[in-house]
Amino acid sequence: MFKAGAQKLKDVVEARTHRWHRWAEVVLPFLVLATALVVRKADWDLVAEAKFKVFDTYQRMAPRVWDPRLPVRIVDLDEETLRRHGQWPWPRTLVADLLRASCRGAGVVAFDSIFPEPDRTSPPSLAASLPAAASEARALLSRLPDHDRALSRAIAEVQAQGCQVVTAFALTNGESGRETQAKRPVLSRGEAPESFLARYKDVTPTLPVIERAAAGNGSMNNVPDVDGVARKAALMFSLRGKPVPSLAAEAVRLAQEGGDKAVYMLRATGQGESTGGAETGLTMVKVGALNIPVDSNGGVLIHFTPADTPRSVPAWEVLSPGFDPARLGGGIVFIGTSAEGLKDQRPTPMSSMAPGVEIHAAVAEQMLSGYFLERPDYADGMELTFILVLGSALILLMGRFGAAWCALLAAAAIGAFAWGSWLAFLGRFGGRRMLFDPVLPSLVVLAVYMFASLIRYLRTEAEKRQVRGAFSRYMSPDLVEQLAKDPTRLKLGGEMREMTLMFSDIRGFTTISEQFDAHGLTNFINRYLTPMTQIVLDHKGTIDKYMGDCIMAFWNAPLDVPGHEVLACRGALKMIRRMNELNDTWKAEAEVEGRKYIPVRSGIGINSGPCCVGNMGSDMRFDYSVLGDDVNLASRLEGQSKSYGVDIVLGAKTRAAAAAFAALELDLIKVKGKTVPVHIHTLLGDEALALDPRFKALVLKHEAMLAAYRGQRWDETDRLRLECEKESEALGLHLAKLYHLYEERAAEGRAHPPGADWDGVFTATTK
Of 460, 300, 354, 358, nearest to 75 by C-alpha is 358
User: Do 654 and 569 contact (CB within 8 A), yes or no?
Assistant: yes
Assess whether pLDDT exceeds 90 at residue 592. Answer: no
* % the chain with pLDDT above 70: 81
Which residues have C-beta within 8 Å of that of residue 660, sequence separation ≥ 6? Answer: 566, 687, 690
> Residue 45 carries which DSSP code?
H
Assess whether pLDDT exceeds 60 at residue 102. Answer: yes
With 0-12 / 13-18 / 19 or more C-beta atoms within 10 angstroms meaning exposed / middle / buried, residue 664 is: buried
Q: Which residues of 548-568 are buried (b: 16+ CB within 10 A; e: fewer)?
A: ebbbbbbbbbeeebeebbbbb
Of 238, 109, 96, nearest to 167 by C-alpha is 109
Residue 538: its pLDDT value, please?
87
Q: Please write the tens of the pLDDT for every residue from 205-251.
A: 999 999 999 999 999 998 888 778 888 899 999 998 899 999 999 99
Dihedral angle sign, alpha carbons of residues 507, 513, 515, 516: positive
Q: How far apart are CA 518 and CA 715, in angstroms?
A: 53
User: Do 356 and 77 contact (CB within 8 A), yes or no?
Assistant: no
Number of domains in the chain: 4
Does 664 reside within a domain? no
Q: How far apart are CA 254 and CA 243, in angstroms?
A: 18
pLDDT band at 686 (very low <50, low <70, confident <90, very high): very high
Does 675 reside within a domain? no
Assess whether pLDDT exceeds 90 at residue 136. Answer: no
Does 674 reside within a domain? no
Q: Please write the tens of the pLDDT for every residue from 20-48.
A: 455 555 566 666 666 666 665 555 556 66
Give the full edge-to-edge strand order of the sheet including 290-293. 186-189, 264-268, 282-287, 290-293
Q: How far apart are CA 481 and CA 390, in angstroms?
A: 26
Does 647 reside within a domain? yes
Residue 265: beta bridge partners? 187, 286
Q: Of all helices (H) and strands (E), which one includes residue 764?
A: none
* % the chain with pLDDT above 90: 40
pLDDT band at 724 (very low <50, low <70, confident <90, very high): very high
Ordered DSSP codes for 249-262: HHHHHHHSTTGGG-
Does 666 reside within a domain? no
Region of poorest pLDDT, from 13-22, 594-603, 616-625:
13-22
217 with 296, same domain: the answer is yes
134 with 257, same domain: the answer is yes
The domain boundary residue, chosen from 442, 475, 508:
475
164 with 39, same domain: the answer is no
The full length of the chain comes to 767
Residue range of the domain that includes 6: 2-60+381-475
Residue 357: its pLDDT value, please?
92
Gyration radius (Cα) of the chain, Å = 34
764-767: list long-range contacts, CB under 8 Å, 24+ apart.
764/636, 764/640, 764/643, 764/669, 764/670, 764/671, 764/672, 765/672, 766/639, 766/643, 766/672, 767/635, 767/636, 767/639, 767/671, 767/672, 767/673
Does 599 reside within a domain? yes
Residue 435: its pLDDT value, please?
82
Q: How far apart are CA 244 and CA 324, in angstroms?
A: 35
> Residue 328 carries which DSSP code?
G
The domain boundary residue, chosen from 475, 509, 541:
475
357 with 387, same domain: the answer is no
The CATH number that applies at residue 612 is: 3.30.70.1230
Collapse the DSSP code of 602 into the 3-class scheme (helix H, G, I; strand E, B; otherwise coil) and give the result: strand
223 with 360, same domain: the answer is yes
Does 490 reside within a domain? no
> Residue 114 carries which DSSP code?
-
Q: Please write the tens of the pLDDT for every residue from 413-461.
A: 788 888 888 888 888 887 788 888 887 777 777 777 776 766 666 655 4
Ordered DSSP codes for 123-169: HHHHHHHS-TT-HHHHHHHHHSPPHHHHHHHHHHHHHHTT-EEEEEE
Assess whether pLDDT exceeds 60 at residue 586. Answer: yes
Region of poorest pLDDT, from 192-201, 643-652, 721-730:
192-201
Please state whether beta strands 542-547 and 373-374 pair in parallel, antiparallel, or not at all (unpaired). Answer: unpaired
Residue 74: its pLDDT value, please?
94
Please state whether beta strands 236-239 and 242-245 pair in parallel, antiparallel, or not at all (unpaired). Answer: antiparallel
Report the greatest alpha carbon distance in the chain.
129
pLDDT band at 537 (very low <50, low <70, confident <90, very high): confident
User: Do 247 and 165 contact (CB within 8 A), yes or no?
Assistant: no
55 with 80, same domain: the answer is no
Q: How far apart are CA 721 and CA 725, in angstroms?
A: 6
83 with 188, same domain: the answer is yes
Assess whether pLDDT exceeds 60 at residue 488. Answer: no
Of 618, 749, 561, 760, nearest to 677 by C-alpha is 760
Q: Of all helices (H) and strands (E), which one includes residue 88?
A: none
Residue 216: beta bridge partners? 166
Residue type (1 letter), 266: L
- The larger pLDDT score, comparing residue 307 to residue 89, is at 89
Q: Please write the tens of the pLDDT for every residue from 266-293.
A: 888 754 344 444 446 888 899 988 999 8
Q: Please write the tens of the pLDDT for every residue from 464-486.
A: 343 333 333 322 233 334 333 44
Angle between helices 439-459 and 2-42 (to 10 degrees): 170
645 with 757, same domain: the answer is no
Give the HSE-up count for residue 65: Cα atoms under 13 Å, Cβ half-sphere.
4
User: Do 600 and 579 contact (CB within 8 A), yes or no?
Assistant: yes
224 with 366, same domain: the answer is yes
Q: Please write the tens of the pLDDT for every residue from 311-364.
A: 999 999 999 999 999 999 889 999 999 988 787 888 888 888 889 899 999 999
632 with 749, same domain: the answer is no
Does 67 reside within a domain? no
Distances (CA, A) of 22 to 31, 410, 565: 15, 21, 72
Please state whether beta strands 542-547 and 602-617 pair in parallel, antiparallel, or not at all (unpaired). Answer: unpaired
Distances (CA, A) of 463 to 14, 28, 458, 460, 470: 16, 20, 10, 5, 10
363 with 389, same domain: the answer is no
Q: How far apart are CA 605 and CA 416, in angstroms?
A: 39
The domain boundary residue, chosen from 409, 441, 475:
475
519 with 653, same domain: the answer is yes
Collapse the DSSP code of 293 into the 3-class scheme (helix H, G, I; strand E, B; otherwise coil) and give the result: strand
